[in-house]
Amino acid sequence: MRIVRTIHEIEYARSQWSGPVGLVPTMGYLHEGHLSLFQTARAENTTVVASIFVNPTQFGPNEDLERYPRNLERDLHMLEAAGVDMVFTPTASEMYPPGFTTYVEPQGSLVEQGEGASRPNHFRGVATVVLKLFQLIQPQRAYFGQKDAQQIAVITRMVRDLNLPVKLRVRPTVREADGLAMSSRNSYLDPATRAAAPILYQALQAGRQAFEAQPTSNPAAVMQAMAEIVAQEPQAHLDYAEVRDAETFLPLERLQAPRSSCSPSAWDQCA
């Protein structure tokens, strides 16, 4: 496995690849959710590239950029074992040299709600770095986890809007035995909050049950079912529990099946 730190090196490596290239963009501190992306990428491409870059432009001024968990040595072992061919792990100044001024600015409902509402500029940072990685590595396929549903919608829109020649592949969320979605940030949880965290999964399950009981109903019943479960956990403070269109993130008036087999909620039918 080659470890590459500069844009110059990645450009040289790119000129030597033949056959399809799969890119798995990450911020490191890898877990089994990432491993499922590497596995799929390995099965589908001749060359698999992982990036590890804690992207400063997607963090707000009071967010966790400095303390975001990092363990490059452990990550490199995991990547090697997963059969990844190349790791691109640039510095912030390599990606954003002095004078950098050009950003991808997603607009509208997609970024005005959910994470976009509580984290201004987050999706601008994500879209910018993902476009730069697509430009540098020029993969035929790029792999993302379904856990970050709004991120997937933003990147899908960018790929469509800017006619980027890359196919997005989205893999299902990987969960701990008690339902908590795997995430690098789970390492922040102390034992008490870790014990409380699966309430989120229980709320999602309750939402699913409410939907299955009345698939054509008003989404309010689903949202209420989720909110009631979260309210049972004293350590949990609900930010939002909403039902949104998976592509536009607009509120839904009525529950409905995904518009097409290639909508973000049905990605695996979308090879």
Report if residue 89 touches ligand PAF, rule: CB under 6 A. no
The piece of 1-9, 23-31, 59-67, 197-205 that touches ligand PAF (CB under 6 A) is: 23-31
Q: Does 8 appear as a known binding residue?
A: no
Q: Which of residues 29-58 bind ligand PAF (CB under 6 A)?
A: 55, 58
Q: Does the annotation count 122 as an active-site position?
A: no
Q: Which residue has the tokens 């001749």?
A: 46
Nearest-approach distance from CB 173 to ligand PAF, in angstroms: 12
Q: What angle do CA 142, 145, 149 make, to 5 degrees?
A: 110
Q: Does 54 appear as a known binding residue?
A: no
Report if residue 24 touches ligand PAF, rule: CB under 6 A. no
Nearest-approach distance from CB 184 to ligand PAF, in angstroms: 8
Nearest-approach distance from CB 26 to ligand PAF, in angstroms: 5
Choice between 26 and 45, CB closer to ligand PAF: 26
The piece of 25-33, 36-44, 211-219, 243-251 that touches ligand PAF (CB under 6 A) is: 25-33
Residues 169, 41: Cα–Cα separation, whole Å: 9
Choice between 56 and 258, CB closer to ligand PAF: 56
Sequential DSSP letters for the chain: -EEE-SHHHHHHHHTT--S-EEEEEE-SS--HHHHHHHHHHHHH-SEEEEEE---GGGS-TTSSTTTS---HHHHHHHHHHTT--EEE---HHHHS-TT--------THHHHSHHHHHSTTHHHHHHHHHHHHHHHH--SEEEEETTSHHHHHHHHHHHHHTT-S-EEEEEPPPB-TTSPBP-GGGGG--HHHHHHTTHHHHHHHHHHHHHHHSTTS-HHHHHHHHHHHHHT-TT---S----B-TTT-PBPSS----SSTTSGGGGGG--
- 21-26 and 2-4 strand pairing: unpaired
Nearest-approach distance from CB 24 to ligand PAF, in angstroms: 9
Pick from 10, 21, 23, 25 the residue near ligand PAF by CB under 6 A: 25
Site string for ligand PAF, 113-152 (x = CB under 6 A): -------------x--xx-----------------x--x-
CA dist 14 to 79, 134, 171, 188, Å? 19, 12, 25, 37
Choice between 133 and 206, CB closer to ligand PAF: 133
Report if residue 27 touches ligand PAF, rule: CB under 6 A. yes
Pick from 10, 26, 78, 142 the residue near ligand PAF by CB under 6 A: 26
The one catalytic residue in 34, 77, 122, 237 is: 34
Residues at the binding site for (R)-pantoate are: 58, 151
Q: Return binding residues.
A: 27-34, 58, 145-148, 151, 174, 182-185
Active site residues: 34
Q: Which residues are near ligand PAF by CB under 6 A?
A: 25-27, 55, 58, 126, 129-130, 148, 151
